[in-house]
Every structure is written in C-alpha cells, then in structure tokens.
Structure 1
C-alpha cells in the first residue's frame, strides 16, 4: 500500500517524512506572504478590447448570412477571424517599427480569445494548475491561494470595478441551460464555470465588487484515493464507509467551509455501482458525477427573474426544495444533494426517510452541533415546524453523520490538514431523546479511530459482508488507539 497523504494546503498534498516514515524534526516554514508572481510579457488590454470589438463586428456580419449555427461553428469562425485580425495588427506594428515577438503575438491572441469566448483576464487564472482559490476585492486586488498553501497576489483582472462587474454579468448570461443573473435587483451570483470551478460574485452591497473563484482539484476521486493518496481516511474507515454505501445507508457529511465535504461526497458516490441510476440536486453544479456516469440525473436550481408570482417568489424560480418531491416519482433509490443550507432540509429528510443510500452535505462547527444545525434550518420551513418534529424527522431519516475536520495552519507557516474525525450512528428516538452512537471518534491527533460498535445499523452492514467485530480490538485500546493511520499528522499545534 502506498504511503498515506494528508489534505494539506487548499490542495491535498503528501507530507514530508523520513525514510522510515517518522516525523522529521519540527521546523517552521516561512510565513506565507503576498507576493507578485513572475509575469509574462505585458498585454495592453485597451488593444485587446479594440481587437475584440473588431472581431465581434466581423463575426456578426459573417453569421448574419448563416443564422442558427451551432455554438461550436460560431466559436470556430470567431477563432479564425481572431487569428487574422491579430496577425494584421501585429504586421501593422512591425511596419511602424514596433516589432512583436511570436510569444507576444500568441499571448495577445490568447487574451483576445479569452475576452471573446472565455472569461477575460480570469481565464489565465483558471488555466493555471497551481491555483486552487482566487479572492478578488475590486478589479485590482487579487489574492491567489496555491496548491502548496502559499499566498501570492495577482495582476488586475479588469481596468475598473465596473468592467469587472460587466465581465461577470456576461458570464452569467453564458451560464447555459440554467438561468443566472447579476443585477441591481439581485446583486450576487453563484454559478459553475465551464471547467467546473465555482464563481461567486457580490456587488453593490459591498464597498467594491467581491469575486471568489473556487477551483476543484479533485473531481474524479474515490474512497481508495482518499485512503491511499490523501490521508482523509484510514483502512478501518475505508472498509466501514464502503460497507455503508453498499448497505444503502443514508449519510450526512458535515464540516466547516473548505473542509472537503464535496470531495468526500464524490468519493462516496464513486462507490455506487455504475449501472445504478440516481439523482443529484445542487444549487450550482459542483459534483460532476453526471459527466462520468451514464445514468445519473443532474438537476440544478434555477433563479427567478422579473415580477414576483402570487406566492411572493420571483417568477420562474425553481429551488432544491421544489425539486425533491418530484424526484421521488422518478423510481430511484438514492438522492444526493450537494449542500443543504436552508429550508430544503425538510423535504431532504422526507426523501431520506423513504429512500436508501441518499447523501448530502451540511455546514456545522462540530459533529455534536449537526443535529442543532438541522433543527435550525428546519425551523425556516414554516410555522408548522417545531424543534421536536425536526429532531424526530432527522432521527428517522439519517443513518450516519460523517464529520470532516479541517485544521488550517497556514497562518503559522504550516498547511491545511483535512481528515474524517468522527462517524456517528443515528439510532432513532428513545423517551423523546435522539439516540446516537459514536462509532469513530477523535484519536490522540484528532483523526477518527474506533470507539464503539454499531448498534442499529449492525445487521445492515453484516448483510453486505462487513464484520463490525474488526473494530473490537481497537476499541479496547482506549486512548492509546491510533487506528490504522500509517503516517503521522504533521501538525504544528498537535503533538501526538
């Protein structure tokens, strides 16, 4: 088995260890600082906009003669015109005594193409594989988080804040089948970019436009990967979680923002048999399972626009809460919700109580607060909902809570560590109290180790070939139990 790795930095990287796997002497890396990355040849974006307008005019004239062309044909024709127009511009500069190198011409053509068909100046950030997160405050404050955890600053992404907003509005219009908008009446935007990254925009209610791009470095991930490559789970957790999926248990994945909940959901989903049909519901598509699985039905919420309907909602709005009831008529066993964040928790619990193998993610500060978070969201459903009813619904619908911990030590000169820290069995209600069993709990270094044998779920796990008794020896070790984690957690604040 290859060495385990830990989810360090915003990407998931292997820790440094000595040849025998021991932790090297503690040393603190330099504190991350904002620094300017090495830049390529300077691009005059005033020229880029001028060339883009010229290309757009010529493309419009050409397509006027051949209406109803495909998007692929339109882009191919645009690229042909762009190459010619840029070449003419470069030739003109050469004749004027301002020669342009082949590299500069290529960069200019790429910038024009990105402005015409892509994401403008944002495109260069998306094309870099060393970047995981980008935070933009106004057009000229660009904070880049790299896979290795260090922070750098990037060049301006627009010449003005208004241009940045206009760029994002164009992206919203290009969102595809699911409508998106960014306007004075709706000054925020959340959408998936063509490469699978997530774009979030807020303006007007902020001092300056605020744009966040979150790149997903792990789209095709399995539970084996989370065990062998990234150190999110150990061998005991792997065996237990694979059995949980095989047994059709309803699983809620919890954790803080950026803990790796969506990645864990992808890993669990990859365990579902390829010929099984299931449904994914998301506010903004992130899971990407429909791209690899033929029978996955991927549904995305739709924003409303214009006047409000009789119920007070924007006309045309379709929420996850709206879609869950109809999915129950589609003859599938599993429903997977990318993230439960509002009143859709109630139909989600209703769906879980009548299905097998459904999964979702939810934000929570720790495993013990997950049920409180469920109740808090359920109370938004309406006056007929009570805390006791929400608790009973959760007790009857959820089988397992998998909690993922993220320890961010980047400010200390370290990395981000992500790992499963708890797996809790939900055992129903007894004497008006919810019964839970911590099957895996935090060990000496915070990573999950066996604590108790499953109770209510035991028979379901046994039926798919899992023997819970394998956990017994580790449970008897008590506080000295390290599970089967094979490499140390290289944390600056924990010393196990």
Structure 2
C-alpha cells in the first residue's frame, strides 16, 4: 500500500478532517435559538454550498463592521468573534427560512452546523484552508490555482488535497480579504502589490502571488516541530549523533553559525534546535520578516526580544522608502541597545547581513539562515548580500569580514522521491564547513568538517585543530576520529 493510500485509509479524506478546536483564549460558544447548531469544532460536510458561504460571509462582514462602527466602545478580538457568531447564526436562520419558503426543504442539523462553521471560518479564520492548517499531520500546503493543491505531511509524504475555492478569482478575493483583516500584521494584496507574505493569526506563514503568475500561487508553512532539539532531529534521521554533538558544542562555545539550504529544507527547524542549546539565562534577539522561530513563545529562555520587519505602504518618499516600512537592517541596528547575548536572524536575503556582521563583531554565537545550493556557495551568497549595503562595501571587504566573523556553515539537503500515489521528501544535514580568513583569492578558506556520504548524510571528514577543544563541551571527538575517512586529519 502506498504512503498516500495508507494515510487516507487510516485517517479518511482530508476534506472530512474535524475542524480545529477553538483557541484556548476564546470564549466558548453560546447556545442560541438554533438549538444544537452552535459554532463549535465540527466536520465540514462535503456538500457545503460554498457560493452561499461566500454570500453569507459578505453579509456578516458588513453587519459586523456597521455594528462595531456604531459602538462607541472598542471591542476586543473575543468580543468581535462572539458578535460574529451571533450574526452568522442569525444569517443561517434567515437562509434556512428562505430555503423553506422556496420549497427547497429544511436543513439537517449537520448542514446547519457545517454551514455556520464555514461562514465563521471565512469571516475570522482561514475559510476552506482552515481544516488543512489545523490538521496536525499537514506541514506544508502548496496551491497552484484553486483546484491544484498538494499537501506535505510531517513524515515527508506528498499527497493531493481538496480544492480550496470554487475558482481562481474566489481564491484571490479571499487572500485579499485575509491580508486586509489580519490582526497581527495587515498587508496589501492587489494588482499594484502582487505578492503577499503574511504571518497568519495562528502562527503559520503564508506566501502568495497573483496577477504576475498564470494562476494564484500560495504556500502555507505550518511549523509542527516547535519544542525541538538536536536529539529529536537525530531520531528523525536528519543528522547523525556525532554531527549533533559537534553542533551542540559549537553553540555552547558561541561559534557563529549560518544554516543554508533550499526553500523548505528545514532551516528554521534546525535553527530552533540549535537555539535549544543556548543557556536559558542568555538574552536573545530574533529578527524575521514573519515570525517563524517563535522563541519568544516557547518559554525555554528567560529573555527573548523578537523583531518582525514590516513593509511600507503608499507612495515612496525622497529616500525611496514607503511610509511605515521597518527593515531587518533597522531592527538589527536598534538591537545593539538591548544588551543581547545572541542575535538570531531568521533569513538573510540582502544587506541586513552587514548589520549581522556588526553583531557578530560585537559578540559571538549568532545564528542565521540563507538560501544556497551548497555550503561553499553560501559563502559567495553572503558576500553578495553584504555588497548590497552600498558601494562602500567592496567584495574584498565583505569577504574579509565574513571570513573573520562566521565560524561554521551547516548545509541542508532536501530530496523528493516518487512513491506510489504521491512522493516523499527527506531532509538531511549534508555538510558542515569551517570558515576562516584566507591569504589569497577568494579571501577565505573552507574546511569540510563533515561531508556528505553516498546517501547524502554528513559524516566526519577533516577536523581543524582549533575545533578539538569542543570535546570539552560535549563533542564526541573519539567517535568523530573513529569514523572519519583515512584521508582525514588524524
């Protein structure tokens, strides 16, 4: 039996997965005149009339906005949702009456419940995406048009998912609504702003593009491994125990580490595991375009200052910036006043690496991520990013600074192999290289401390002498030396 078939036979179709429980801080639903039909977690029926749901959502949104505008007191999120529940249930009752008057028969309690839940989810949550986001087995949702949906499960299996709208335009309309109503970081999504990067209210990350792509494209990442350690990743066969011991010791001895890899390779998960090795009393600062690490919510460390960048809006000023824009570069500069012990950058994409270099020069033990095909290519990528800070940053200067501040680069690999009924992805630590200044071109020297074996797993290779001292901090030096190749350093 294929992995996809096994999944479906064990759990049933994803379209019938029970909906997400109400957030723990949300007020419980109040029974109404609909009797048992209250908006609580339930299974959304396959025969929900989604065109009716869209119409009811529009009516509910308008009524909710009018009520809030006429109420002098400011309603908090829970109060708005309670009001929304009441409005939705009233609309459902009216829709039922209209159907009965038109001779269409009465609605079953299940249909009442499913429709009410669908309208509520569309109004306050993620609509037809909600069951997928809330399913603990789903890690990534890949959408290319409303009816081409692929789901990556937590074990790496790829299977088909249900449609998330009735048309591409409906999907776009909902994304526009979703972006505008987000309470955590509202953003614009339109033909003038055809890309969207959004942290969803539940903590998932959404990236979307439309108008510049043949069909609307969406990827939702729902991080399932939050309280994760290096030992957990060893159990998942992402790296070997010896590699884990080396990285653990490197973090404890305050080596500055860059985690590189392709999109979706597990960089954020590995960084979260590395941060678990930082002493709980150290003051940490995190810098992200959208919160993904969530170190400030995990209660593992006593002090975590979390920064999130913010795009601007409206016309650009004389300096080329939009009003309200806040960049990671600015956040890193501001952080120098916060007495941080460690600075963790979720992803280096451009000139913010220069501020990161300054942070590494001011202290040690910083961690960041970047996209790269291999570990050596990551060095070249970081040099290019640093040069984006301005013409005053030459290639030579960027190279020398990086070589002097970055200690290790950990490269992740991701492989997708076909299996009957879908595919499966495997993620591994493939390389760990040590970076040091070099006297000749290119200006830096790299040593493969761990290199990929035939299966793509990082195994011991050449150990620089200065890293032998990590043995006093948990590094399995004896195990490393006993498994290294004959050509390695004795």
| Common fold by TM > 0.5 | yes
Whether contact under 8 Å (1:37, 1:152) holds in the other structure is no
Q: 1:393 to 1:146 in 2, by over 3 A?
A: same
Q: 1:444 to 1:50 in 2, by over 3 A?
A: closer
Q: 1:67 to 1:160 in 2, by over 3 A?
A: farther
- Structure 2 CA distance for aligned equivalents of residues 443 and 165 of structure 1: 45
C-alpha deviation, 1:465, in angstroms: 5.4
Deviating more after overlay: 369-378 vs 357-366: 369-378
- Structure 2 CA distance for aligned equivalents of residues 336 and 66 of structure 1: 42
C-alpha deviation, 1:282, in angstroms: 0.6
Selected match of 1:423 from 407, 419, 432: 432
- Structure 1 CA distance for aligned equivalents of residues 188 and 15 of structure 2: 35
Whether contact under 8 Å (2:383, 2:398) holds in the other structure is yes
Deviations 1:261-289 (A, max 9, x none): 11101111112222322111011111111
- Structure 1 CA distance for aligned equivalents of residues 457 and 482 of structure 2: 18
Q: Which has the higher contact order (CA 8 A, sep 6+)?
A: 1
Deviating more after overlay: 324-333 vs 132-141: 132-141
C-alpha deviation, 1:241, in angstroms: 1.2
Deviations 1:79-102 (A, max 9, x none): 233234424544664674623222
C-alpha deviation, 1:431, in angstroms: 4.7
Segments of structure 2 that go 5 or more residues without pairing to the other structure are: 7-12, 17-44
Whether contact under 8 Å (2:242, 2:475) holds in the other structure is no
Q: Which residue of 2 aligns with 1:3?
A: none
C-alpha deviation, 1:47, in angstroms: 2.0
C-alpha deviation, 1:291, in angstroms: 0.9
Q: Which residue of 1 aligns with 2:197?
A: 190
Selected match of 2:411 from 380, 403, 416: 403
Q: Which residue of 2 aligns with 1:377?
A: 385
Whether contact under 8 Å (2:194, 2:211) holds in the other structure is yes
Q: 1:424 to 1:61 in 2, by over 3 A?
A: closer
Whether contact under 8 Å (1:427, 1:455) holds in the other structure is no
Q: Which residue of 1 aligns with 2:283?
A: 277
Aligned to 1:321, what secondary structure does the other structure show? helix
Q: Which residue of 1 aligns with 2:162?
A: 154
C-alpha deviation, 1:66, in angstroms: 4.9
Segments of structure 1 that go 5 or more residues without pairing to the other structure are: 1-26, 480-496
User: Does 2:114 align with 1:107?
Assistant: yes
Aligned to 1:244, what secondary structure does the other structure show? helix
Q: Which residue of 2 aligns with 1:200?
A: 207
Deviating more after overlay: 95-104 vs 187-196: 95-104
TM normalised by structure 1 equals: 0.82
User: Does 2:83 align with 1:73?
Assistant: no
Q: Which residue of 2 aligns with 1:121?
A: 128
C-alpha deviation, 1:324, in angstroms: 1.3
- Structure 2 CA distance for aligned equivalents of residues 369 and 275 of structure 1: 35
Whether contact under 8 Å (1:202, 1:210) holds in the other structure is yes
- Structure 1 CA distance for aligned equivalents of residues 282 and 72 of structure 2: 43
Count of residues in correspondence between the two structures: 449
Q: 1:381 to 1:83 in 2, by over 3 A?
A: same
User: Does 2:274 align with 1:292?
Assistant: no
Selected match of 1:354 from 362, 378, 385: 362
Deviating more after overlay: 402-411 vs 430-439: 430-439
How do 1:37-116 residues align onto structure 2 when only pairs under 5 Å count? 40-60=45-65, 62-63=67-68, 64-87=70-93, 89-90=95-96, 93=99, 96=103, 98-116=105-123
C-alpha deviation, 1:320, in angstroms: 0.9
Selected match of 2:315 from 281, 301, 307: 307
TM normalised by structure 2 equals: 0.83
- Structure 2 CA distance for aligned equivalents of residues 416 and 446 of structure 1: 13
Aligned to 1:389, what secondary structure does the other structure show? helix
Q: 1:455 to 1:336 in 2, by over 3 A?
A: same
Deviations 1:98-132 (A, max 9, x none): 23222222211110101211122222322233333
Q: 1:97 to 1:203 in 2, by over 3 A?
A: closer
- Structure 1 CA distance for aligned equivalents of residues 59 and 423 of structure 2: 49
Q: 1:152 to 1:160 in 2, by over 3 A?
A: closer
